[in-house]
Structure 1
């Protein structure tokens, strides 16, 4: 695992310990396609949230994966998905919040969310979760597979990850910096080997993609599992009570 510095507000972090120590802790996931559970017709595309439960001791957590392909903070609210998540949240639960891929897609008007609105939406999410005596955890968006000619991973989210980091620092919210962790994974793998972590499928290899696909945003099963492992490694360093339940 890569031991990277994590932007965690540990000195002033306010967290809520699980209130039901004898029961599994419910972890709710609010996010986009990189985290979401996939429909059969999308396989082998895989969201890293699908491997989250496997990072914990058996029987200690329940994962409520409400992440959805194509959603931004704006559309997650507009479609009622955020309210549905809140309605299912109980004291002692944990809510992982990871958006950015679709928020920053300015060319896609159905999902684009301007930076200021993105920051306000995330702040609302944090407030709403805390009002339910649950623990919000902010995550920066995972890196896309983009390299320059020299083989260095390129930024693909602009100012959006820094807005997450700033909110976490300002509101004393736990932050798992998945952008930096995932970018480091890609850099370590290299431009060509990192294809195996993403949805790269050859012609005739998958009935879902008969013409093949070269997707540098969505994960293969191997990539999704690696991202879940990176999350778990970061969580172990976070000081959150939830880390005590990891394998």
Structure 2
């Protein structure tokens, strides 16, 4: 009887320690950014953020915590206290994927728009605060809009991607240049074929009775392909996350 109890206790302790070890070894990947990455409500489907598709690329020891939100900029994400709870939870070895620009460039909207100088300051603060918790910041330029004119893809982001690249270079932050990667994908597909990547919906859809032609936000297929480009960037940078990919 005593031997049986001993075996049961030993197995219980072993299982508890194993569970604790697995829990301890989990890596959290936070995403902060705007609607192009954000989780979406069912009433906006098929609009899909690329952050929603990222978890499927990882093994179970990575948790993607997507905090990106529609309409947010580096400024409004801070002012609305969206960053504070993330910073409080960060632990050594976590990652923060930082992708802003789409709304920072809307300078006509003071609540979200930032000057290039302010955009730079905000990015630097995100990076430094992430590093203060011994977590790992990753900068991403904003994804391309589907803005073809006469068959030629036009960049609509101005100098905001340039600032992201400058911050990455000056602070030695790993950079995934999503603008270049998504421009490459759109150019490869062309004006017509690239429609499938975006939230284009025929009339009669339950969420869009009058239809929708949205060249900023992604479709489920677009989100998966863009998340795949993020993963490609992870591999190119040789991040430790590579060994945690499926």
Give SS of 2:36's match: coil
Give the structure 2 partner of residue 37 of structure 1.
39
Alignment of 1:158-173 (within 5 A): 158-173=158-173
Q: Which runs of 5+ in 1 are unaligned?
A: 1-19
What RMSD, in angstroms, separates the aligned Cα atoms of the two structures? 1.3
Q: Deviations over 1:98-153 (max 9, x none)?
A: 0000000123333111110000000000000000000000000000001121x221
Q: Deviations over 1:177-233 (max 9, x none)?
A: 0010001100001101111100000111x2111000100000000000000011111
Gaps of 5+ in 2: 1-21
Residue of structure 2 equivalent to 1:240: 239
Partner of 1:213: 212
Matches for 1:65-144 after TM superposition, within 5 Å: 65-144=66-145
Instruction: Write the distance in 1 (CA, Å) between the matches of 2:82 and 2:24.
Output: 29
What is the alpha-carbon distance in structure 2 between the residues aligned to residue 207 and residue 50 of structure 1? 21
Residues 236 and 246 in structure 1, CA contact (< 8 A), matched pair in contact too: no
Closer, same or farther: CA 92–21 of 1 in aligned 2, 3 Å: farther
* Structure 1 residue 21, shift from structure 2 partner: 9.6
Q: How many residues align?
A: 225
Q: Separation in 2 of the partners of 1:167 and 1:76?
A: 19
Matched residues in 2 for 1:125 and 1:106: separation?
21
1:9 counterpart residue number: none
Aligned-pair CA distance for 1:22 = 6.0
Matched residue, 2:61: 60
Ranges of 4+ aligned residues in structure 1 off by more than 3 Å: none
Q: Which has the higher helix share?
A: 2
Spell out, residue by residue over 1:5-64, the C-alpha distance to the aligned partner (whole angstroms, 9 max, x if none).
Answer: xxxxxxxxxxxxxxx99622100110000000001111110000001111112x120011
TM-score, normalised by the number of residues in structure 2: 0.89
